[in-house]
Structure 1
């Protein structure tokens, strides 16, 4: 049996179309033989709230430019649809959750969202880096501004800040997120060029006892990279498609399972659990 998909987005995420419903995602999960899935909707912020705090030198609240079109998370609507699909798909374990963006910077705002509902799975993610006093998406723009290696190394440094600066999440999502936008002009992405940075993040995460996500929307990791996680003390792996369309739920899980098994992790007795070394 394949593992559950612990990273799925639907219309309740600000960057996902209204056609991406929980029902369609559950239908795909069932058809692919998954035992369950977690709806981890985006929770991102564009201004500082009470209890939030940025590093010295980062922009004041009214100048924060993370994602200008972010919409507030509708917890009530999300929760109602979640209960409806739980009744429709009793064969699936359907888990509630959020993907908290930059939770080390928006601690107060994230805490208020978590207090407003019941969330079983919390992912921590870093989509932006600080640049010229602002938070800027870690994508094509930053590759042009900082260069390929420059952005990746900056991203890993800020990822360490996230791991050490927030305890609200249980799974670290797509820990090399900018790799999705790696420019062709830089040649093939070579994981070994950043081994020291990967290992530093893995070491910090493992020390906190949390799980690492194998994200199948990002370029799939090598067996060696997953083995670095194990060697640095990592015990648990979570699988996530990061699906923003229903058809991608569980995508490439068969390949990801082979990689994780080859790196020394295996399924536990509970098919709905993480995989462990």
Structure 2
């Protein structure tokens, strides 16, 4: 049986279309045999708020462009969650957010969390500190900088994220920049080239009792990478499609289940639980 999808975005996220409704995504989950979905909407910021730590503790650092970012609407979102729970009683529906750079935007994230009740909170890095700016990670950034150096910097910042923020329970897409890796210019991405850096992230995360996500939108993690998590003491794995449209809910979960199982993890207490060692 397939596990819960703990990473789904609907129209309440700034980077989805109006067609990505909770209702359609719930219908898709039921068709796929997914027992539960968590609507972990993007909470990203384009300027420092009062009390945010900021990049290098500097409040005047400019944030890289994130076109289309609008403030998250916790009231409308919560009403939509409740409506879906009434419409789909056989599907477990969790509320949540995906907090971008919560170690930098600590106070801003706290204000969002204080405005609602959230069952799943993901921590993620979509931006990286480059030349005094927090810039969005994309193909253009890789065009301007050495890809391996960017990946090193990203994984180093992820260690800071784990150590400096306690608001999240799942670390999302631990190698997000891999989506933009310039294969034509530098060749295929090799996880083994960054084994030491991955293990450092995992060694920092494991004692906190939080889960590592296997993200099926990113290039799928190998059995070897998930086994590094197991070897560093990781206790739980969360499955997340990172769906931004209905047809991607639970996408590639059959493959992800085999990867996680081969790495040593097993289903948890029930169908709704994380997989555990």
Normalising by structure 1, report the TM-score: 0.97
Q: How does 1:78-227 map to 2 (within 5 A)?
A: 78-184=77-183, 185-227=185-227
State the Cα deviation string for residues 223-262 of structure 1 (Å, max 9, x = none). 1110000000000000000000010000000000000000
50-59 vs 173-182, which deviates more?
50-59
SS at match of 1:94: strand
Are the counterparts in 2 of residues 124 and 170 from structure 1 also a CA contact under 8 Å?
A: yes
SS at match of 1:129: strand
Normalising by structure 2, report the TM-score: 0.97
Cα displacement (A) at 1:51: 1.4
Change (3 A) 1:263 1:231: same
Cα displacement (A) at 1:201: 0.3
Are the counterparts in 1 of residues 267 and 275 from structure 2 also a CA contact under 8 Å?
A: yes
How far, CA to CA, are the matches of 2:164 and 2:56 in structure 1?
14
What residue in structure 1 maps to residue 232 of structure 2? 232
How far, CA to CA, are the matches of 2:80 and 2:176 in structure 1?
29
SS at match of 2:107: helix
What residue in structure 1 maps to residue 51 of structure 2? 51
Question: How many residues get paired?
Answer: 276
SS at match of 2:218: coil
Are the counterparts in 2 of residues 59 and 134 from structure 1 also a CA contact under 8 Å?
A: no
Cα displacement (A) at 1:148: 1.5
Cα displacement (A) at 1:141: 2.1
- Listed as ranges, the gaps of 5+ residues in structure 1 are none
SS at match of 1:227: helix
Give the superposed CA RMSD. 1.1
Are the counterparts in 2 of residues 46 and 68 from structure 1 also a CA contact under 8 Å?
A: no
How far, CA to CA, are the matches of 2:208 and 2:90 in structure 1?
33
What residue in structure 2 maps to residue 72 of structure 1? 71
- Listed as ranges, the gaps of 5+ residues in structure 2 are none
How far, CA to CA, are the matches of 2:50 and 2:67 in structure 1?
20
